[in-house]
Amino acid sequence: APVLAAAAPSAACPGIEARSLAECGRCVADDLCPVVGDVAYRCDHYTKRCVSPQWNATEVYERCPEVYSDPSTWGAMCKLPCPDQQSPFGCAKNNCLNEDFPCDWVPGCSGEGDSLPYALPRMSSACLRSCVDHESFAYNLYDIENCRTMQTVWGGCANNRMWQICPVTCRSPECPDRCNREEVPDESGKRCYQYVEENRFDCVEGIKLGMDCHCKCGLVYGSASATRFHNNGGAFTWRIRVQGQELGLHMNATLEEKFSISVTGTSMSPESGVYNPARLKIVEEDAPCSHADNVDGVEGLVCERPPGNNLLAIAVCDTYPSTATAWLHRWSEVSVARCGDFHMCHCNGNCGERDSWKLVGKLRVRPPEAFEGEVSRAPPGCDAYLPTRPPDPVVPERGESIREQLLKVSLSISGGLKAIHGLSAVEVMVALQQTLAEYLESESPLLGRTVPTADDVAL
């Protein structure tokens, strides 16, 4: 194990004593490697392990063996030499397949409980790399277009180079090992990379669900961080667009049922419990995030305006996230006792400042499917979802006869079919036909059936 710096520290890893690593130890610079006898070991340009300069490539792999089933034994898998020994480690992204190098390569490297080399930002391209097939390597090194073609040409994944270049196609341990360490699972225990690899959704859709996707989808996080709307980190907001899509959170919730809200982003406040300054609130759709308080009926998020009549006073929010990392914040046990469309506002810190609050998503709260009751007693905003029962069927007292007659009646039908339920014009007309037929229906002994049907109603 690395020796924490007590004497002369390494220049690349100020948290580790120079020359303290063992033979074959993972390294980012020569000054971490030991002196054995009178031989100063060096950080190998291909494996990024401490090796003797007297060893050839075969001896390196014999003395520092890699076990397929144990990613902790793997080298950096550099297909081209990577001589960089300081930030920004540009050759790591371009030449090396193992995404743990250099940012999660040497434990305690920074001396601050982190493995980052000196002066290397966590958001750098060397660190924020997606766990995907490395098809550019297949094309540039072997002139093979993609991993599917490589699998055919090379006869499958048993080839050592094949599973290194195509970890997803070959189902190698790389992505599970790395992403299980790095990504926060959802409340079912499943992680973003699993959903993406199962084609349940893509990276942008996962982010819009509030999942921590930074391991599987590092390139998307990097692209979002490069926009002018995210230069200070925090949760992704509705103003950020990647691949032509905004990254705002989309959520649906059921009236008065408890749910969790998760938001993802970069450089989020990682502190635990009461020490975390991040806050969240649910506000009216047209209310400003800068100072609005919670909409009435919110439970599980305390956010109230100070006493007094100052409408511009900033609401004080006291509920810290139940889960917090640099990539995700989650609030659990939230409920809303009213129906409607609302905005979710997030603050990553300094929540007493107006500019710290950002619009991060939209929340739709609807009643359960079997929602019944009286309009006068419905929770706020929910009366439009209450079904109005049709009248009891009427059986004519006298005998029926067939005649042509023009009847004029006035009807009013409400319920927000288009605005609330999001139906198209065609769907609205079909719903009106069915509603009229149901409300006007009557048993006809003369015709021997119930009339009218939806097909009898022309609109």
Q: What is the pLDDT of residues 165-219, one digit of tens each?
A: 999 999 999 999 999 999 999 999 999 999 999 999 999 999 999 999 999 999 9
pTM: 0.83
- Per-residue confidence band for 397, with pLDDT thresholds at 50, 70 and 90: low
Grouping H, G, I as helix, E, B as strand and the rest as coil, residue 358 is strand
- 16 is written with which tokens? 């580790």
CB 316 within 8 A of CB 306: yes
Whether omega before 102 lies within 30 degrees of 0, making that bond cis, reads: yes
pLDDT of 114 > 80? The answer is yes
As a whole number of angstroms, the distance between CA 386 and CA 189 comes to 36
pLDDT of 138 > 50? The answer is yes
Q: Sign of the C-alpha dihedral, residues 143, 144, 147, 153?
A: negative
* Angle, CA of 319, 321 and 327, to the nearest 5°: 150
Spacing of C-alpha 229 from chain mean position: 18
- 276 is written with which tokens? 């975390």
pLDDT digits (tens, 9 = 90+) for 269-305: 999 999 999 999 999 999 999 999 999 999 999 998 8
As a whole number of angstroms, the distance between CA 225 and CA 264 comes to 12
- Per-residue confidence band for 5, with pLDDT thresholds at 50, 70 and 90: very low
Q: Which of 135, 95, 131 minimizes the C-alpha distance to 214?
A: 131
Q: Which residue has the higher pLDDT, 71 or 411?
A: 71
As a whole number of angstroms, the distance between CA 43 and CA 56 comes to 13
As a whole number of angstroms, the distance between CA 273 and CA 324 comes to 8
